[in-house]
C-alpha cells in the first residue's frame, strides 16, 4: 500500500536535489521571466521601427508629403538616398524598404495619368516584409488621395462597418504573446524537470538505493510528480501575478484560481509524460532528442500559436488526445475571455482523464524499467 509519508519525503528529496542544480534553476527563472517578456515584446508579426529609405526623384510637395508620412514607432525616420545607393544599402541590410518616387510623379498624377511608385523590399526579413508592405501601400495611397482631393474625403459609404474588438480592444499583441508563452513553458518545464530527475538518479546510481528501501515504484513516481509539478505551479503563479499583471500590465479577464486549478491538472498529465520519456531514454542526450520530437508538436499543434480550425481535420482529431490542446483552450477561455467553470468544465474533465491515463501508463512503464 502507498504510504503518504514516503511520498512526501521522496518529493522533498527531489526538491533538495533541484536546489543543487544551478542550470535547472536558471532555466526555471528564465522560462518564466525573460522568456515570457521577450516573447511578448518581440512577436514576429509586429512592425516596429522598420528601416525605410526614400529615393525622391520628383522633389515635389507631394513627394515631401509622402516622405513625411513615415515615422516611429512603425518606421524609423526615412533616409533620403539616391538610386545609386539603393542596391548597396539593401545588400548591406541597412534598409528593409526602399521607396522610389519617379520624376514628374506629381505632374503626371494631376494630369490624370497613372504614375507608378516602386517599392523595393528586403524579403529576407520576412516578418517585417509581409506586414510592412501593406502599411507602406496604405500610407502612400492615403497621402496621394488626400493630396488630389485637397482635403480629407468626406464621402460616406453605403454601409457603415462598426468594428468591435472583444477581449483585446487595443489589439495589443503583447497581451496574447505573454500568456501563450507561459502556457508553452508550463508544458516544457514540467516534462524537463520530471524526466531529468529520473535520469539523474539512474546515472548517479541512486535509483538502486531507493529500490532496497521500503518504498514502492508508485511512491517514487508520485514523489517526483508532486515535487516538480509544485515547482512549475509556483513559478507559473508568480509569473502571471508579478510579471504579466504587474510589470507588463496585461489585464487577465477570468479567475486566476480557476486557471491555476487547470494548471494543476495539466501538470499531473505532463509530469507523467516526462516520467514516460525518461524511461524510454537511456541517457540525458537521448532524453533531449525525445523532448524535441515531443514538445514541438505539442506546442505548435495545440492551438496556442495557430488556430486549430486552420489545421487539417486529421491533425485536429489526433491532437484531441494531447493534454496541451485542452489546456490551451482552457487557458485562453479563462484568461482572455473570462470564462467560468460552466464553460471550461469539459477541458478540465479531459485533462483529468488524459492525466490519469498517462500516469497509469507511465507507472507501468516505470515498473518494467526497474526490473
3-state DSSP of 32-81: CCHHHHHHHHCCCCCCCCECEEEEECCCCHHHHHHHCCCCCCCECCCEEC
Residue 105 has pLDDT above 60, yes or no: yes
Q: Confidence class of residue 360 from pLDDT cuts 50, 70 and 90?
A: very high
Task: State yes or no: pLDDT of 155 exceeds 70.
Answer: no
Which of 104, 270, 81, 124 lies closest to 192 in space, CA to CA?
270
Assigned fold of 52-149: abc type-2 transporter like fold (3.40.1710)
> Measured between alpha carbons, how far is 284 from 286 in angstroms, rounded to an integer?
5
Q: What does the alpha-carbon distance between residue 300 and residue 38 come to, in Å, rounded to a whole number?
A: 18
Q: Is the pTM of this model over 0.85?
A: no
pLDDT above 60 (res 225): yes
The residues, ordered by sequence, that sit 6+ positions from 55 with a Cβ below 8 Å of its Cβ are 80, 81, 82, 83, 86, 98, 99, 100, 101
Q: What is the pLDDT of residue 180?
A: 85
DSSP state of 251: P
Residue 335 has pLDDT above 60, yes or no: yes
Q: Helices marked H in the chain — which ranges? A: 4-19, 22-31, 34-41, 61-67, 83-91, 105-110, 126-149, 173-204, 206-211, 217-238, 256-280, 284-300, 313-319, 323-331, 341-369
Q: What percent of the chain has pLDDT over 90?
A: 37
Q: Where are the domains of the chain?
A: 4-42+172-369, 52-149
Q: Tell me what pLDDT residue 160 has.
A: 61
Answer for the pair 334, 259: CB distance below 8 angstroms, yes or no: yes
What would the pLDDT profile of 262-283 be if each residue is shown by its tens digit?
Answer: 999 999 999 999 999 988 887 8
The bridge status of strand 97-101 relative to strand 118-121 is antiparallel
pLDDT tens readout for residues 235-246? 999 999 999 888
| pLDDT at 152 (0 to 100) | 46
**What is the pLDDT at residue 359?**
92
The pLDDT score that the predictor gives to residue 161 is: 62
Say yes or no to pLDDT of 171 above 70. no
**pLDDT for position 99:** 93
Amino acid at each position: 500500500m502507498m504510504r503518504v509519508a514516503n511520498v512526501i519525503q521522496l518529493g522533498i528529496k527531489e526538491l533538495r536535489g533541484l536546489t543543487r542544480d544551478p542550470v535547472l534553476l536558471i532555466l526555471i527563472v528564465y522560462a518564466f521571466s525573460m522568456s515570457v517578456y521577450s516573447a511578448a515584446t518581440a512577436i514576429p508579426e509586429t512592425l516596429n521601427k522598420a528601416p525605410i529609405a526614400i529615393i525622391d526623384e520628383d522633389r515635389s510637395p507631394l513627394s515631401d508629403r509622402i516622405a513625411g508620412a513615415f515615422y516611429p514607432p512603425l518606421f524609423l525616420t526615412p533616409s533620403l538616398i539616391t538610386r545609386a545607393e539603393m542596391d548597396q544599402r539593401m545588400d548591406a541590410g541597412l534598409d528593409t524598404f526602399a521607396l522610389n518616387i519617379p520624376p514628374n510623379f506629381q505632374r503626371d498624377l494631376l494630369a490624370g495619368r497613372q504614375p507608378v511608385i516602386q517599392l523595393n523590399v528586403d524579403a529576407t526579413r520576412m516578418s517585417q516584409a509581409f506586414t510592412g508592405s501593406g502599411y507602406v501601400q496604405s500610407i502612400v495611397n492615403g497621402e496621394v488621395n488626400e493630396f488630389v482631393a485637397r482635403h480629407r474625403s468626406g464621402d460616406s459609404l453605403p454601409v457603415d462597418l462598426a468594428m468591435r474588438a472583444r477581449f483585446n480592444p487595443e489589439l495589443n499583441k503583447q497581451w496574447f504573446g505573454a500568456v501563450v508563452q507561459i502556457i508553452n513553458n508550463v508544458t516544457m518545464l514540467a516534462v524537463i524537470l520530471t524526466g531529468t530527475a529520473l535520469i539523474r538518479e539512474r546515472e548517479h546510481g541512486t535509483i538502486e538505493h531507493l529500490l532496497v528501501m521500503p518504498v514502492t515504484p508508485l511512491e517514487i513516481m508520485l514523489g517526483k510528480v508532486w515535487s516538480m509539478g509544485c515547482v512549475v505551479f509556483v513559478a507559473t503563479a508568480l509569473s502571471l501575478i508579478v510579471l504579466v499583471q504587474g510589470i507588463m500590465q496585461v489585464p487577465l479577464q477570468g479567475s486566476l484560481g480557476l486557471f491555476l486549478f487547470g494548471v494543476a491538472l495539466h501538470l499531473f498529465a505532463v509530469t507523467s509524460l516526462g516520467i514516460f520519456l525518461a524511461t524510454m531514454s537511456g541517457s540525458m542526450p537521448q532524453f533531449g532528442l525525445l523532448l524535441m520530437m515531443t514538445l514541438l508538436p505539442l506546442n505548435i499543434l495545440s492551438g496556442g500559436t495557430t488556430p486549430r480550425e486552420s489545421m487539417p481535420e486529421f491533425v485536429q482529431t489526433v491532437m484531441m488526445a494531447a493534454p496541451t490542446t485542452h489546456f490551451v483552450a482552457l487557458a485562453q477561455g479563462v484568461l482572455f475571455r473570462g470564462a467560468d467553470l460552466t464553460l471550461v468544465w469539459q477541458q478540465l474533465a479531459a485533462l483529468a482523464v488524459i492525466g490519469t491515463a498517462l500516469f497509469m501508463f507511465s507507472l507501468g512503464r516505470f515498473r518494467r524499467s526497474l526490473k
